[in-house]
Structure 1
Amino acid sequence: MKFVEYSVKNPVVVFVGVIFLLLFGYLAIIQMPYSLTPNISRPTVSVTTTWAGATPYEIEKEIVQRQEKFLKNLPSLITMTSNSREGSASVNLEFEIGTDMKKALLDVSSKLSEVRGYPANIDNPVIRSTGETISPVVYLFVKSNTKQSVKEFYTFIYEDIVKFYERIDGVGVVDILGGVSKQVQVILNTKQLAYYNITIEDVITALQNHNINVSAGSLDYGQRAYRVRTIGLYENAESVYNTIVKTSNTQVVYLRDIASVIDTYELPTAPNMHNNDETISLQIRPTAHANVLELINQVRILTNELNEKQLKQHNLHIDWGRDSAGFIQDAIRLVKHDIILGILLAALILYAFLRSFSSVFVVSIIIPISILSSFILLHAMDRSLNVILLAGVSFAISMIIDSSIVVVENIHRHHGMGKRMFESCIDGTKEVLGALFASTITTVAIFIPIIGLKDEIGQLFSDIALASSSALLISLAICLIVIPSLYYSLAKLFAKNTNITRDSSNKSLQFFTKILFINKFQPHFSFLQKKIIFYLRRFKYTIDRTFVKIGIFFYDILAKFLTFCLQSFWTRIGCVGIFGILSIWFIFLLFPKLDYLPKGSQNFLIAYIQAPNGLSYEERLDIVRRIYAYNAPYMQSNGFQGNEQYPAIRDFYISAGTTSIYFYEISSDPTRIKDLISLMQESIDSVPNISGNVVEQGIFSSSGISESVDVNIVGFDIDSILKSANSFMELATTYLPGVRIRAFPSLDLNNREINLFPDMRSLAINGLNVKSFGNIVDVIIGGKKVGDFRNQEGKIIDLVLQSDNTTQSPEDVLYSQIYAPSGQIMPLSSLANIRQDMGLSQIRHFEQDRNILFYINPQSSMSLQEVIETINNKIIPEMKRQNTLQDNKVMMSGNANKLHKLATHLSGGFLLALIITYLLLTALYSNFFYPIIIIFTVPFALTGGFMGLAFVNRFIAHQNLDVLTMLGFIILVGSVVNNAILIVYQSLINLREYKMNVYDSVYNATTSRIRPIYMGMFTSILALAPLIFSSGAGSEIYRGLGAVIAGGILVSTIISVFVIPSLLIFALKPPHNKVV
């Protein structure tokens, strides 16, 4: 206790300590990295394998199934999914939170090294510490400054530009979309092949045997060692042209004798357009633990450098498309503004109760000291400055104010008892030290189960818990050391040995007028200054009298009702029973459905288009042109400034790949982004034979956490899965009206295929086998890549072998002429049976089983729990009744699974918080019954929390009971018990030290604490009000949480001042008797 007296006697030491805290707190806050939310993504590893020209079925069988067989046993693996598409395979591995990524990457690499039986011509698997589920955080667009098509610069961009972005810390992968790579095409002449008796296999073997360097080791000679190599790699098209294909006796057949060689580009496959220009898109996906804001800043700096150097030399430039930095900065700026506004509103309430500028100043100055000091600890714990952390700081403000008020009010009460200010500051602080310690420890302790939570939500909760706990622990020390010292110093400054409340305000008025009238002008304005002081005093007197009358009026009402509640055994029973029953009834009445994360959106809309499978490049290009033409009149780049119907489109991008078509739009007015949804949907509907959904980019999308419910239709037979999936889609549309449903892959089995079934006898007679026949077909249809080489500029050039028999239609395949080793030229139809079938463009696996995935995005008014219950209770039973489910299974993943686990964890966390609070209070009071009385306030807080949530839903914005909002109820356990602690603590002091009887002890403790209790309640609510009522970027994250805490504090405060004293009278006995 001596530290309180020391602080009062040595204000200079305390002042210097405060300066140190403010200085180091400021340094900490400017050094912390910025981000929208804490890192809340799971460790993810992706494995990508390329096999040029292979169909999805071949990819699935030869690559994916082999890799999954070994990867399924990885330690800490949570989920394994894969996607087999034409030419490539991707396997996505999601690990438990806390998994060491370096070890996980090594484990994946080790398992892949065990895979055997790959086809000979596949590329090595590429392992990355990111996955397809993590959304790009930056979109960049390469454009040409000349008439030369930007598509032709793909190789330059891929080899000379992308590498710089991949080196930036935090970049997981850089996707490059659009463009065509350089090729050297060898066009075979079928007649010349027959003339020289050369087969396609001979040509392939000759090209591959020539295009190689062979090392022969080293040769030691004298003092030197010489490396010996045989050089054969091609350097240009001419060296390819001079390849020797066959020799017989004296005849040498060169490639130029049987083929022509063309230095050209591959055929385009994916049209891309940004605003009005053709483009190559670079999409940057972060790693799971990236500092997104710093990553974006580094990308911006690098982009500017590349535009000034490498790209400028090639008449190219990169346009900055979309990034999330602006939204992050706006969200952090908004919550900072809300915190400052909350402090100012709380200060107004403090003045209304205290009517003393100095007292308000003391309490108000404690808030920034505590908050800035807390950032010292947060920076030491390597936290980022994000919206969640700042929300935790803002929630701590109300608790900091409560502690400050208790100390200031008690000092003022002791001074009103006739003590000197020095004694009042020491005695008043010491008297509430135990209560403050108990309330702070119980509040901090309830965060223990929160910090222990795993999953993404545990990462979110930990920032709130650490921010609030740091601020509260530091504020406890500051309240006990700084407040008495500062209060005593102000008392000496403003009014020696007089009433600080009365005279300090007059001194403050004089101080402000001295600021307004500079000393050298003061003689000329002394009269005006006196008048201003007079009217200010009069105004203050009127305001003070009004506040006093209001305060007395409500105090009398509360005191009379308290007297009524405590007057007899039955009134006390009635008070406890009625309020208890009403609270339980309201809890059941208002309990809403559960949701996962807050539904919020950024200034970013993305439309996913479902087009028929197997569309040609020209058809996809036509879709791009139609959608662009529909949106072009509304683009800001075309002069549109917005109107009442639509805001201007600031940024537009569309991509039409072979497996997916999508486009995005960004509004010039972020507050009107939702107005563009109808425009985007209309542009999709304007194109025949396609459909699509427009999805708002969620707040947590950059972390790979979507707002959708993921439903997997799992089975083995693709036809059966498609039948079940179509049934699910139809029923989901019926039972979940208004939801946006997207299937992946498409439900249309209309990807046209031409399957050749070789006649083994015919092949054998003509000197062929299945492999050589397949190579011939590959060459004839689209060209076969037989290798690559680096040209003289160092660029990788693909070497592609093609036939002069161009195929324009499926019928052309039937009559394509080939030269067989038997020496005959014959049509393909004589060697194989040809059949046209339908197939899938992609094959997806969920935990090794084939599946179709549905992304279900509910409306903002529909909770995740409602969607899950509808699927489980209506859709699946109806599918079973109609026998459309067959042998397949419906499995939920993603948020659906997480919600059930999290609800269980939070329920356990809530009970654990109650137990921790009870045990701490038991230890502090050395009594098992008093803590039960204190915890009796929790049901009233729950009622108030649900009322606050209902209020927000009714008057502000739709707010589901998401997991962040649920956290508010856990925080309430530690917050609302503080008022009960004050009443119990003071009652015990009255009973033991002042020798009052039980009734007087309880009544006096309650009435003497009504003012600080209600002061704390109003300041807490007004400090939280800006968080509840704000509607800017990221406000959805903390609005529900703030509403629950504010509502819980309001209702529990009003009720507890009546219920707690009623219970306390039953428990207290005079000191010579034992407590019940």
Structure 2
Amino acid sequence: MKIIDLSIRRKVTIAMFTVGILLFGMVSLSRLNVNLLPELSYPTLTIRTEFEGAAPVEVENLITKPVEEAVGVVKGVQQVRSISRAGQSDVVLEFAWGTDMNIANLDVMAKLDAVQLPLDADKPVTLRFDPTLDPIMRYALYYNEGGTDNPSGDDVNVDYAGYQDLESPDAISRLKGLRVLADEQLKKNLESALGVASVKISGGLEEEIQVNIDQQRLAYLNIPIESVTQILSAENVNLSGGRLEEGTQQYLVRTLNEFKSVEQIRNVVVARNQDNTIYLKDVADVTQAYKEREAITRLNGAEAVEIAIYKEGDANTVAVAEAVNARMGSIRDALPSNMKLEKVYDQSVFIASAVNEVKNAGIIGGILAVLVLYLFLRNFWTTVIISVSIPVSIIATFNLMYGNDISLNIMSLGGIALGIGMLVDNSIVVLENIARHREMGKGIVESAREGAGEVGMAVIASTLTTIAVFFPLVFVQGIAGQLFRDQALTVTFSLLASLIVAITLIPMLSSIGGKKTETQPLNLKEPKTKAGRGLRSVRMFLFYTIPTALTKGIKFIFRWISKITKALFSPFVWVFDQSYQATEKVYAGLLRWSLNHKFVVLSVALLSFVGSLALVPQIGIELIPQLSQGEFAVEFKLPPGTPIEETDKALRSVQNKSRNLDNVRTTFAVAGTGNQMDANPEQGGENWGELSVTLASGSSTMDEEAAMDQMRSSLQQIPGLQYKFSRPSLFSFKTPIEIEISGFDLDKLKLAGDAVARKLSSNDRFADVKSTMETGSPEIQILFDRDRAAALGLQVHEVADRIVSNVRGDVATRYSWRDRKIDVLVRAREADRASIDEIQRLIVNPDSERPIPLSAIAEVQIANGPGEIRRVAQQRVAIVSANLNYGDLGEAAEEVEQALAETTLPAGILAQIGGQNEEMADSFQSLIFALSLAIFLVYLVMASQFESLLHPFIILFTIPLALVGAILGLYITGTTISVVVFIGLILLAGIVVNNAIVLIDLINQMRMKGVEKLEAIKEGGKSRLRPILMTTMTTTLGLLPLAIGFGDGAELRAPMGITVIGGLLFSTLLTLVVIPVMYDILDRKSYTPQPETETA
């Protein structure tokens, strides 16, 4: 091959090219982002529409249905789901993977512009749900026991226990102070940190000016509540009046009319009645209070304010966390002595640990591979030559990663770690063949040229077969294709780099020390001046003396290292050498016996394959292994209508109990909607809460499971509580088991949902069983008598607006106080809206001389509607979901099918299994297709290499043999079949054929030289035993640290390592016997001996 010849002749060129690649690779490495997982673009859009005050049925009919009909025809939409709950509609669109979501969002917005919605409804907004939108860090700001300072500016001095509940002005002042400090100082300080996209604050008390109207007094004065709102808005304004010039002086004219104090708000004139001036304080109580609470947050039981930090989409998570931590140091120093800021969650800690674990696994694997090489080669310099391919290939890979915008994450680094053992395979084959030519008595340069050229096409073919298996991953649908893209690319990049190293750098280094060209003496003219002679001396020193000294020094160092290494490892080398010689003898005898007993060999291989398939049902299946991060969360849902204070009370009780569990370090509770940037429609509401439990450092997965089991037993004692356990979300997956029960009648759906839920709850395999069909919040329904209202000259929509203004209230304006903007809320005082009787007495025409109460034109009643209405494909559904206590997803799905068969459903009601089981079926189907296509591509590459259809067919028999080893490895280690295992199988299909390629290639070469077939098989097997064992052991030991599965993120690494190691070991053992037998049976071709030609 010309490139090999060029590499041997132009050593300096190759050396400088390598140095350049290494230099740019290190620069690229310094600029790569560090994240936990690749950037995953989830193809979902949520259309959220607020329709305040509307019941779920009204939301469904007036908002959800029109939106579903409009957006269901958008190109690429595969599924439309929706949830209609009180005051809010969420329509979730699921697109095909690979859809450009920016274009899809524009299409959806265009459709929404044409939808006719009620005037009272807010404009629909589109939201993206992505687990990476979760905050990367969460802090809790709370009062420390015994402190006295208060950042709100009020003089308070209360004990710590006082602000656990809002029972005293001091407690209220403290929670206001926490919120003010978080909003005004922490938020502004942190949002300017590098890479921070947003800082969201929740919890505490938000200040609000409340104007509580005395309805009776307002009606007596014939003043509508809307007039008060309009007057406050008009009075609180600063306007620019232009400019005024007086002589040579120019003035700006401004009208300053913003409220300076709450007292000014009280003294606003709202009406004039003859000679009397009516002030706001005459008809309303004006107080500086706080908004109705949307969230209550607690750290270890103490009420706190949550600071959630979100990173920019393409920012480096670890770098952002470091910048935030640096800011937090100065912030803590500036806090009052009685306040404390504690970190609740930091995603970067797990990311850094998981990434470091992969790095360490790669380094250890590389060291083990190099040790194996030395034991085989017994030569330090030869080992160094082969080992250099590892760092050069990896650093070259960083260039391609940077160019393709691939971050350092556990998948991309896992790809590098997977490839470490394989990076030396090509170099081993090349160098081993060079050594074989040296043993024939050829010179160093000649051996390097001919040895590398002889196997050049074989190593290219073997590399292309490994790379080819990753191409079908572009057809893999779902999360698997997105997740493993980075890994496939990094393996491909590193193997291509190793191929280039094997056919350039390895021959060049192997030829060092060969015959050199005679160095011509320097015919330099004797300089005539002292300056000339001095310059010549400097040149000789720089370009001859120093390089010569460095070369001799390096050779001296290498010589001594070689001697030391030989002395240290000589006992191990002797033992290893004896073992190898024994193996070689055993193999030679086994191969002769196998060629004479072909039927027995093939029968054993076939029985092994069939027997392994029988083990598959016992292994179990799941979608993707669950990552253990040392923490978990419990979602709570109390009966509809439960106020947030009661939700907080229940959460606090559970939180106090959980703090006494083993290995629990901190607990953080959120009651209510909390701080959510994502569009997850499953969460939120006053009856919803979440408790996050962080375990002590070093806690295992077993500790997590034990803590969850202990909590379950205590949660079951709380009546009416629904709960669901989960771990921090890294992927957007459904619950393991989801049963979709479809129909139209809500009552029948509820009966069916409850029946299925009871059936699953009776099986101890299932945990956290719940149905989405539940009774909704109690409603006060106002049914208008339109005829009577019209007779009295009243418009129904005007009366409805007036009810909203009195009960919910309107924000009239914003009051500026201490650089803060505080809402001014106008509504009826609490006494006028505290009961149904008070609602019935609301005056619906306050600007009339004859006041009319609401009861005169409407019937007011209490009723219970559905809590929410779910729809899938524009059909109403009830969804019964469940987690698993034990076992795999495949077995659980079978038991669910049996439970459905035993449950009698009402007429017109259908049920089907969804959840992760459905996602798993789709992913596995596309992965099986990808595996089949990968095997076909491997065949295409080999057929092109051998220019034969038969020999690639023989080599393909290594793949079912590898499957046997992979299944045995999974069975022995108790690892379930998952998407990760399938990716390992695809990779395995490209690896296991390499040994057979080099074996068949040598046999063919020997037969072309006139060697008889059986003799060529025996001699080829003996000659290729050493490189086959070397490549197998280096790959296996390179993957061993990944397969052992220690450290953070091991759940995603170990299954792939186990699959590849098991398949490679077993296939190698059988390949050395079965492939020669198959070759002898199938290959009937006669070869005409060809004369040897010099390799070019």
Counterparts of 2:207 and 2:741, CA distance in 1: 41
Q: Which of residues 918, 929, 936 in structure 2 aligns to 1:897? A: 918
| 1:997 partnered with 2:1012 | yes
Please say if residues 467 and 990 of structure 2, whose CA atoms lie closer than 8 Å, have aligned partners that are also in contact.
yes
Structure 1 counterpart of 2:646? 619
Unaligned runs of 5+ in 1: 220-224, 494-506, 517-531, 635-645, 954-958
| 1:258 partnered with 2:274 | no
1:651-678 per-position Cα deviation (integer Å, ceiling 9, x unaligned):
5334345041111011122434514324
- What is the deviation of 1:1032? 1.1
* 1:423–1:929 distance in 2 versus 1, CA, 3 Å: same
Structure 2 counterpart of 1:580? 606
Identical positions, percent: 27
Structure 2 counterpart of 1:967? 983
Q: Which of residues 1041, 1044, 1059 in structure 1 aligns to 2:1074? A: 1059
Structure 2 counterpart of 1:669? 697
Structure 1 counterpart of 2:213? 188
Counterparts of 1:79 and 1:801, CA distance in 2: 43
* 1:948–1:847 distance in 2 versus 1, CA, 3 Å: same
Structure 2 counterpart of 1:923? 944
Structure 2 counterpart of 1:607? 634
Structure 1 counterpart of 2:908? 887
Please say if residues 215 and 828 of structure 2, whose CA atoms lie closer than 8 Å, have aligned partners that are also in contact.
no
Structure 2 counterpart of 1:647? 663
Please say if residues 642 and 687 of structure 2, whose CA atoms lie closer than 8 Å, have aligned partners that are also in contact.
no
1:558-577 to structure 2, matched below 5 A, reads 558-567=587-596, 571-577=597-603
- What is the deviation of 1:82? 4.0
Counterparts of 2:750 and 2:924, CA distance in 1: 33
- Give the match's secondary structure for 1:601: coil
| 1:1009 partnered with 2:1024 | yes
| 1:862 partnered with 2:888 | yes
Structure 2 counterpart of 1:458? 481
- What is the deviation of 1:559? 1.0
* 1:304–1:843 distance in 2 versus 1, CA, 3 Å: farther
- Give the match's secondary structure for 1:598: coil
Structure 2 counterpart of 1:320? 343
- What is the deviation of 1:235? 7.0
Unaligned runs of 5+ in 2: 144-148, 151-157, 159-172, 245-249, 517-552, 674-685, 1091-1096
Counterparts of 1:723 and 1:168, CA distance in 2: 53
Structure 2 counterpart of 1:141? 140
Q: For residue 118 of structure 2, what is the amino acid of its counterpart?
A: Y
* 1:286–1:87 distance in 2 versus 1, CA, 3 Å: farther
* 1:756–1:707 distance in 2 versus 1, CA, 3 Å: closer
Counterparts of 2:190 and 2:908, CA distance in 1: 47
Counterparts of 2:1054 and 2:511, CA distance in 1: 39
1:652-1051 to structure 2, matched below 5 A, reads 652-657=668-673, 658-672=686-700, 673-674=703-704, 675-682=706-713, 684-685=715-716, 687-697=718-728, 701-705=729-733, 708-735=736-763, 737-741=764-768, 743=770, 745=772, 747-749=773-775, 751-760=777-786, 763=789, 768-775=794-801, 777-778=803-804, 782-791=807-816, 793=819, 795-803=821-829, 805-806=831-832, 808=834, 823=849, 829=855, 831-859=857-885, 861-863=887-889, 865-871=890-896, 873-879=897-903, 882-884=904-906, 886-890=907-911, 895-953=916-974, 959-993=975-1009, 995-1051=1010-1066
Structure 1 counterpart of 2:167? none
Q: For residue 27 of structure 1, what is the amino acid of its counterpart?
A: V
Counterparts of 1:860 and 1:175, CA distance in 2: 38
Q: TM-score, normalised by structure 1?
A: 0.84
Q: Please, which moves more after superposition, 968-977 or 167-176?
A: 167-176
Q: Which of residues 327, 331, 336 in structure 1 aligns to 2:359? A: 336
Please say if residues 580 and 939 of structure 1, whose CA atoms lie closer than 8 Å, have aligned partners that are also in contact.
no
1:390-469 to structure 2, matched below 5 A, reads 390-469=413-492
The aligned length equals: 1010
Counterparts of 1:131 and 1:408, CA distance in 2: 49
Q: For residue 993 of structure 2, what is the amino acid of its counterpart?
A: V
Counterparts of 1:125 and 1:150, CA distance in 2: 34
Structure 2 counterpart of 1:480? 503
- Give the match's secondary structure for 2:441: coil
Q: For residue 388 of structure 1, what is the amino acid of its counterpart?
A: M
Please say if residues 33 and 315 of structure 2, whose CA atoms lie closer than 8 Å, have aligned partners that are also in contact.
no
Counterparts of 1:26 and 1:489, CA distance in 2: 27
- Give the match's secondary structure for 2:862: strand
Counterparts of 2:861 and 2:132, CA distance in 1: 37
Please say if residues 83 and 90 of structure 1, whose CA atoms lie closer than 8 Å, have aligned partners that are also in contact.
yes
Q: For residue 1002 of structure 1, what is the amino acid of its counterpart?
A: I
Q: For residue 566 of structure 1, what is the amino acid of its counterpart?
A: L
Q: Please, which moves more after superposition, 756-765 or 940-949?
A: 756-765
| 1:19 partnered with 2:48 | no
1:262-300 per-position Cα deviation (integer Å, ceiling 9, x unaligned):
232224353211235322224456677665445544554
Q: For residue 883 of structure 1, what is the amino acid of its counterpart?
A: L
Please say if residues 193 and 819 of structure 1, whose CA atoms lie closer than 8 Å, have aligned partners that are also in contact.
no
Please say if residues 182 and 307 of structure 2, whose CA atoms lie closer than 8 Å, have aligned partners that are also in contact.
no
* 1:814–1:425 distance in 2 versus 1, CA, 3 Å: same
- What is the deviation of 1:753? 2.3
Q: Please, which moves more after superposition, 230-239 or 359-368?
A: 230-239
* 1:151–1:716 distance in 2 versus 1, CA, 3 Å: farther
- What is the deviation of 1:649? 1.0
* 1:692–1:760 distance in 2 versus 1, CA, 3 Å: same
Q: Please, which moves more after superposition, 385-394 or 726-735?
A: 726-735
Counterparts of 1:132 and 1:484, CA distance in 2: 49
Please say if residues 129 and 288 of structure 1, whose CA atoms lie closer than 8 Å, have aligned partners that are also in contact.
no
Please say if residues 614 and 841 of structure 1, whose CA atoms lie closer than 8 Å, have aligned partners that are also in contact.
no
- Give the match's secondary structure for 1:805: helix
1:193-252 per-position Cα deviation (integer Å, ceiling 9, x unaligned):
343244546656666777789999999xxxxx9999999987764555455545566665
* 1:24–1:696 distance in 2 versus 1, CA, 3 Å: same
1:320-347 per-position Cα deviation (integer Å, ceiling 9, x unaligned):
3202111111111111111111122222
* 1:395–1:1054 distance in 2 versus 1, CA, 3 Å: same
Q: Which of residues 628, 637, 640 in structure 1 aligns to 2:655? A: 628
Counterparts of 2:427 and 2:815, CA distance in 1: 73
* 1:586–1:1073 distance in 2 versus 1, CA, 3 Å: farther
Counterparts of 1:182 and 1:65, CA distance in 2: 38
Q: Please, which moves more after superposition, 969-978 or 346-355?
A: 346-355
Please say if residues 135 and 285 of structure 1, whose CA atoms lie closer than 8 Å, have aligned partners that are also in contact.
yes
1:164-188 per-position Cα deviation (integer Å, ceiling 9, x unaligned):
7778898777654323433332223
Please say if residues 477 and 922 of structure 2, whose CA atoms lie closer than 8 Å, have aligned partners that are also in contact.
no
1:3-402 to structure 2, matched below 5 A, reads 3-120=3-120, 122-130=121-129, 135-143=134-142, 146=150, 148-151=173-176, 154=179, 176-200=201-225, 203=228, 237-238=262-263, 240-246=265-271, 253-284=278-309, 291-297=316-322, 299-300=324-325, 318-402=341-425
Please say if residues 130 and 173 of structure 1, whose CA atoms lie closer than 8 Å, have aligned partners that are also in contact.
no
- What is the deviation of 1:141? 2.6
Counterparts of 1:922 and 1:7, CA distance in 2: 29
Q: For residue 767 of structure 2, what is the amino acid of its counterpart?
A: R
1:823-864 per-position Cα deviation (integer Å, ceiling 9, x unaligned):
56676555543332223444444444444444433346413x
Q: For residue 29 of structure 1, what is the amino acid of its counterpart?
A: L
